[in-house]
Structure 1
Amino acid sequence: MKVTVDQDKCVSSGQCVLTASEVFDQRDEDGVVVQLTTEPPAEEEDNARRAAAACPAQAIYVEE
């Protein structure tokens, strides 16, 4: 699995961090998503998928 984010599309809702905190974080100054890893460990893959589905801006992309 490969995960990428589009910071330009991010609306800083924080759903990704709440769902997959091992994969995503947010910048302190504006809340925009920060990707911690592009290839989450197997135990975090479902969380990464849920984060992508929960993103209101559809700024998270998952390649299987």
Structure 2
Amino acid sequence: MDSVNLNTQNMMVAIHTEVMKKAMDTEAQKVLSVLGSTDMQKSGNMQEVAQLVGKGQTLDIKA
């Protein structure tokens, strides 16, 4: 019985991880598109921003 519960739990974790990844990707795309439309791209900060988003840090952006 325990192994059944464990497998179910592992599946739930895997599903949750995938959902979170997709949500993060969507958020990252939004952030990058907002930043991409500003002059930050010209100043070379896009790389930095992409790294921050990749690390899952929160960026406070006033569009």
Same fold (TM over 0.5): no
Name the one with the larger helix percent: 2
Structure number with larger C-alpha Rg: 2
Give the TM-score category using the shorter length.
under 0.3
Relative contact order (C-alpha < 8 Å, sep 6+): which is higher?
1
Name the one with the larger strand percent: 1
